[in-house]
Chains A and B, each alone.
Chain A
Amino acid sequence: MTAATYVFEYHLVNYRRTWRATVLSSVVLPLLTMLGFGLGVGAFVTGDVQGFSYLEWMVPGLIATTAVQTAVGEATWPVMSGFAWVKSYFAQAAAPLRAGDILGGHLAFMLFRVLLSVASFLLVALLFGAIRSPGAVAVLPIAALLGFATAAPAAAYTASVTSDMFLAVLFRFVVLPMSLFSGVFFPIESLPGALRWIAHVLPLWHGVDLCRTAVLGLDPGPGAVWHVLYLLLWGVAGWFLAVWRYRRRLVF
């Protein structure tokens, strides 16, 4: 555990050098998305969605996708770099760290990045008046859980592929469709039945539903517990897969 905090610390020192490049995606992108979808598309959505204005209804979904985009972004190229480009993982493996420490410390940093992105999104949304319930702060732990549920399996995937071409594949064929079919922009009830299972199986929709419940101040009900457990399952399974893949790459 202590060893993993040393690795987390290392990633923070690195971030001190590179944070400027991430400000754009953390602040400017939510702003543009809010303008484009919330106000632009929202103007065409006459009437309300499930009793809320389109902007209000959509913002929690965007927060959840932001969490996933950040989590998977941090668990792909930087992980590839640790193995193949900078090879920082190998430097760490030569020190008294184990695969689980190296992964754990990096994963902690990924979740830290998720929290930063989601917090800045929350602020932007607040300024737009798209958030009214104080329960909205609950999106922070939800985003961390969703980040864990997606970053851990994504890190396992990255540790298993040999070229960054496969990372683009992950984004194009998994992350993008997941963002479209997980109730971010429209309720999944509007999906044809044959596609609805995608939303149920992949992690994002569970996070979207939790975020929406929190931001709109709805009654969580027993469904929320299942969402949390299901996301935990993704995270824990991803964790064990990733430890196994990391060990294979570092110790051979």
Chain B
Amino acid sequence: MNSLIHARGLVKRFDGFTAVDGIDVDVRPGEAFGFLGPNGAGKSSTMRMIGCVSPPSDGVLRILGMDPRRDGPAIRARLGVCPQLDNLDPELTVRENLTTYARFFGIPRKVARARATELLDFVQLGERAGSRVDPLSGGMKRRLTIARALINEPDLVLLDEPTTGLDPQARHLVWERLFRLKQQGVTLVLTTHYMDEAEQLCDRLVVMDGGRIVAEGSPRELIAAHSTREVVELRFPTEDQGAYADELKGIGERIEVLPDRILLYVADGDDALAEVHRRSLTPVGSLARRSSLEDVFLRLTGRTLVD
């Protein structure tokens, strides 16, 4: 079996509700694979099953060719996990956070110290090695958590919403580091509800909604399959954007009315805008842009990703 992660009909049930409802996934070596979806889509439950800290309720799951139900510790020895909420040790120094964690994998102290130095340089925290974790910024803590996830030189790195809660500058720094990892051939699996994150990092992704996979492919394939090339966003000076929907009929392939704006799915944004003005409609704001995964998600689920 060539897949690092192989799932068929994977299900996770908690009393009374089904968080993951029969998904099929294959992740190949060297790939950056994403689970994209809104909160509650079942992404984190899936990640916990892959991380072998949550037994599947049903279906087949193989991680690195092994069975998580039986080989949990052996699998976890070869995974790197960056959880959604940082669980670093605030009392310890930046370096000690890495060296103590290394010991859980049975890594000798000397090797652990050498790897810690190397990884702190990699996440650009070398100068903070001796300082405590508490005063670090959110972005630094996240980078340290990523470094900690790499301490055992994992075959597979799991990142649960790696940049949620970070400011834009900190996010870009994290993305850049993850991109470097990807270039080094490290297999990354991440969840996100940011489409730009998925577009930046993922070779392939699945869109999840309500515990199911609703689409699968590369970001480009998904956009090509489920959206038009361009999108025009219009805002009208009214409480009810829908009132203008009729007058826009026929422009482009599809129209989507949101509470605060109208989206026109079109082949050419400038042509479409010209047509809007020719019909003497005067939106207070207008924007022509490329289609994104956000549009794919809206198309597939009828909802926006981040609410």
| A→B interface (CB under 8 Å) | 2-3, 6-7, 9-10, 13-14, 17-18, 86-88, 90-98, 250-252
B87: chain A residues at CB < 8 Å are 86-88, 90-91
Report whether A94 and B83 are in contact in the complex, using a CB–CB cutoff of 8 Å: yes
Report whether A94 and B53 are in contact in the complex, using a CB–CB cutoff of 8 Å: yes
B53: chain A residues at CB < 8 Å are 90, 93-94, 250-251
Within 8 A of A (CB), among B88-121: 88-92, 96, 100-101, 103-106
A98: chain B residues at CB < 8 Å are 72-73
A251's closest neighbor in chain B, by CB?
A: B53
For residue B85, CB closer than 8 A to chain A, the reply is: yes
Report whether B90 and A86 are in contact in the complex, using a CB–CB cutoff of 8 Å: yes
A97's closest neighbor in chain B, by CB?
A: B104
Report whether A96 and B73 are in contact in the complex, using a CB–CB cutoff of 8 Å: yes
B81: chain A residues at CB < 8 Å are 94
B54: chain A residues at CB < 8 Å are 251-252
Q: Distance (Å) between the CB of B70 and the closest chain A CB? A: 13
Query: What mask results when residues 58 to 97 of chain B are scored 1 for a CB within 8 Å of chain A, else 0?
Result: 0000000000000011101101010101011111100010
CA distance A74 to B266 in the complex (A): 64
- Total interface residues on B, using CB and 8 Å? 29
For residue B217, CB closer than 8 A to chain A, the reply is: no
Q: Distance (Å) between the CB of A20 and the closest chain B CB? A: 12
SS class of chain B's interface: helix, strand, loop or mixed? loop
For residue B162, CB closer than 8 A to chain A, the reply is: no
Q: A9-B100, A13-B96 are in contact. List 17 more A-B contacts (CB 8 A).
A: A2-B106, A3-B106, A6-B104, A14-B92, A14-B100, A90-B53, A90-B87, A91-B87, A91-B88, A91-B101, A94-B53, A95-B104, A95-B105, A96-B72, A96-B73, A97-B104, A252-B54
CA distance A6 to B73 in the complex (A): 14
| B→A interface (CB under 8 Å) | 14, 51, 53-55, 72-74, 76-77, 79, 81, 83, 85, 87-92, 96, 100-101, 103-106, 148, 152
A-B contact pairs, 19 of them (CB 8 A): A7-B104, A10-B104, A13-B100, A14-B89, A17-B91, A86-B90, A87-B85, A88-B89, A90-B83, A91-B83, A92-B104, A94-B79, A95-B101, A95-B105, A96-B76, A96-B77, A96-B104, A96-B105, A97-B104
CA distance A9 to B105 in the complex (A): 13
A6: chain B residues at CB < 8 Å are 103-104, 106
Q: Distance (Å) between the CB of B21 and the closest chain A CB? A: 18
Report whether A251 and B55 are in contact in the complex, using a CB–CB cutoff of 8 Å: yes
Q: Distance (Å) between the CB of B109 and the closest chain A CB? A: 9
CA distance A251 to B72 in the complex (A): 11
**With A2-B106, A94-B76, A251-B53 as contacts: A17 and B101 at CB distance below 8 Å:** no
CA distance A97 to B106 in the complex (A): 10
B82's closest neighbor in chain A, by CB?
A: A94
